[in-house]
Amino acid sequence: MWARLFGAALLALTLGGCAEPPYTNVDNTELKALMEKGVPLYDVRRADEWRQTKVVEGSRTLTYVDASGRPNPEFLPRFTAEVGKNDPVVLICRTGNRTDALARELIAMGYTQVYNVRHGITRWIGDGHPVTTN
C-alpha cells in the first residue's frame, strides 16, 4: 500500500516538473525577430557580467538580483514603470536561470507576454552573434 502511494506521489512530482513554463521560451532566431518588431530586451544580469561578456545590441540593462541572490530594490519600480502588463518583453541573463525565476514572477504579477531567451547570453555568444559594450 505504501509503495503504491509513494509511487503515485513520485509520479505526480515528476510529471509536474515536466509542465511547460507559464511564459514563452525563445531561441536566438526568435529573439532577433522579436527585437526587429521593437519588443524590448532586458538583460537582467549584474554590471560585472555585462562588462565581462558585453550585451546584445539594443538591450536594456537592469539588474534583477545581486551576486548573493538578493533582489535589486530598484528593479521592480523601474521595470513596471517601463513595461506595461500587456506589453511584450524579452528577458535574458547568463544561462536562463534568473530569467526563468523572473518570468514566473512577472506572470504571477499579471504580465501576459513574457519571453525568456533559452540558454541566455551564453548561447547567443556561442552561436556567434554580436555583442556590444553597455
- 3-state SS of 70-91? CECCCHHHHHHHHCCCCCCEEE
CATH of residue 85? 3.40.250.10
pLDDT at 18: 58
Number of structural domains (the chain) is 1
Residue numbers of the chain with a pLDDT score lower than 70 = 1-18
Q: Does residue 133 belong to any structural domain of this protein?
A: no
The set of cell numbers assigned to 96 is 536562463
Q: Does residue 11 belong to any structural domain of this protein?
A: no
Give the type of residue at 92.
I
Q: Does residue 1 belong to any structural domain of this protein?
A: no
Q: Does residue 86 belong to any structural domain of this protein?
A: yes
Q: Does residue 48 belong to any structural domain of this protein?
A: yes
pLDDT at 11: 38
Residue 27's domain comprises 21-126
pLDDT digits (tens, 9 = 90+) for 43-57: 999 999 999 999 999
pLDDT at 15: 43
Bridge partner list, 60 = 42
Q: Are 6 and 29 in contact (CB under 8 A)?
A: no
Q: Does residue 98 belong to any structural domain of this protein?
A: yes
pLDDT at 19: 76
Q: Does residue 13 belong to any structural domain of this protein?
A: no
Q: Does residue 9 belong to any structural domain of this protein?
A: no
pLDDT at 17: 52
The set of cell numbers assigned to 67 is 551576486
In angstroms, the Cα distances linking 36 to 40, 62, 82 are 10, 21, 19
